Amino acid sequence: IPCLRSPRNPEQKIIKRVIALEGDIVKTIGYKKKYVKVPHGHIWVEGDHHGHSFDSNAFGPVSLGLLHARATHILWPPHRWQKLQPVLPPERKPLHREQE
């Protein structure tokens, strides 16, 4: 789960789930286009709260250059301590993945 600089405010860091990689076609949720082919050098990221998350559905594909770190655990608040699992919700899998 990447930690990246916000495309709208590079001083702000956001943590989102990678939904699609470059070349993938993803069905968006409220973005200006219903389907997007992720361009070269970009990823599609989404938060876990669909419709209430500042993510690619708001700002589009994210440049790989904005990747900053990788989140591995939730530490705060203590009742939520856990290791993050790289799970992609089945309904958010890319519609098409380019063959490598």
**Spatial contact of 60 and 54, defined as CB atoms under 8 Å apart:** no
- Total domains in the chain come to 1
CA–CA gap between residue 42 and residue 61 (Å, rounded): 6
Residue 98 has a pLDDT of: 62
pTM: 0.79
pLDDT in tens, 9-39: 878 888 888 999 999 999 999 899 999 999 9
Structural domain including 32 reads 2-97
Q: What are phi and psi of 61, to 5 degrees?
A: -60, 145
Q: The domain spanning residue 33 has which CATH number?
A: 2.10.109
pLDDT in tens, 56-75: 999 999 999 888 888 888 88
